[in-house]
Amino acid sequence: MEGRTTLTRGDVALPAVLTLAGFAEAAVSDVNVPVAMAVSVAAGALLCGRRRWPVVTSVGACFLLVLQTRLGVPEDQLVAPLAMIFTACFALGRYAARFDGVVGLVLVNLMVPLSERVDLPRAQDVLWVLLLTAGPWLAGRLMGEHARRGEELARQSRQLVLEQRQLGERLVADERRRIAREMHDIIAHSISVMVVQAGAASDLLRRDPDAAERAVAEIQSAGRAALDETGRLLRLLREDGGSELDPQPAAADLPGLVEVFRSAGLDVTLVVEGSTDGLPAGVDLSVFRIVQEGLTNALKHAPGSRTVVTLHRRADGIEVDLQNAAGSAAGPPPSGRGLVGMRERVAVFGGALDAGPTEEGGYRLHARLPLPTE
């Protein structure tokens, strides 16, 4: 049963209208006016609680209306009492639990025939009573089931949205940890270079000052790179320690990566505009990973389309453009792990990434990664 702690305007409005209609009918009909009005008030008051106590309301209202006929107010002269029975039976089906609703309906149908006589009613009387009581009860039952089903679907929808949000947060966190582990190796490499060059500078300081000065310059360059990567690493909010990884790939390894995807059946072409030498280690790795993720998505979602990968080196940055030909399948879903990872990689360097279908019917991925100035 759907409980209500307080009455609302909707609970009171309909019974008030039916009570006033009963008053008006009683005033213009040749019936016992005081009895009709008293029953209308009592039945209307009961109907106000039809949402909270549907069984009590329906059985009580029908009892009062049966009592009214016994006190000299024939039911065939007034319409308002029938409307009250109709309303009570509808509330019984709409708001009562399944078993309670069936019990209430049986009680109502056993009570209504008593308004005319104690002996067995005629067939047409039985049909009329069933139409008056079972009809609205069934309509209320169907409406209640529809409302409950809608509430359940809404609850499942809210739960699904929450799970998708949590999944997206986990994907971002997992990808950030993976990037952090890779950047950890880059920083470790820079520090190793600094240690080696510092040892060399110490040995060369007296016998070859120029070589020692070059070693110190290398230490400074490696230290700046390590500081830059450390700052990005802290922004990733790394939560766990890294694990041992294979040597990190770079943009120079892209031709080999493209050959791997060609052998897997993807029609892919690589175009490199400008040199990829001298890229910062983090940018170098991210360029490779972005192309790798993009080609993986192309192979998965559009294996039969022609794919062109273009790298364009500028003075202030490097651009990665991956585009499928028209007629290819749709690109990866916006919540996919690959696209999340690419956005994280680009964002950590202050770049931008655009991904989506093209006007020609294909799919395009475009990433811009700025390069640090001297």
How do the pLDDT tens digits run along the chain, 374 residues long? 444 456 677 778 778 888 787 777 777 676 777 777 777 777 777 788 778 888 888 788 777 777 777 776 666 566 777 778 888 888 888 888 777 777 877 777 777 655 554 444 555 655 666 777 788 888 888 888 888 888 888 888 888 888 888 887 787 777 777 776 666 666 665 666 666 667 777 777 777 777 777 777 777 776 766 666 666 666 555 444 444 445 578 888 999 888 888 876 788 999 999 888 888 878 888 899 899 888 888 877 777 788 999 999 988 899 999 998 755 444 444 445 667 778 877 887 888 999 888 888 888 999 999 987 65
pTM over cut 0.95: no
Domain encompassing residue 13: 9-121
Question: Do 102 and 30 belong together in one domain?
Answer: yes
Query: Alpha helices, DSSP H only, in the chain?
Result: 9-28, 33-47, 54-70, 80-95, 98-111, 123-204, 209-235, 254-263, 281-301, 337-348
Question: Do 19 and 82 belong together in one domain?
Answer: yes
Side chain identity, residue 125: D
d(CA 174, CA 313): 30
- CATH code at 280? 3.30.565.10
- CATH code at 185? 1.20.5.1930
Question: Do 54 and 111 belong together in one domain?
Answer: yes
d(CA 174, CA 202): 42
> Residue 368's pLDDT is what?
93
Question: Do 262 and 353 belong together in one domain?
Answer: yes
d(CA 97, CA 108): 16
- Number of folded domains in the chain? 3
- First-to-last C-alpha distance (Å) of the chain: 73
Question: Do 269 and 322 belong together in one domain?
Answer: yes
> Residue 284's pLDDT is what?
87
Q: Tell me, yes or no, whether 171 lies in a domain.
A: yes
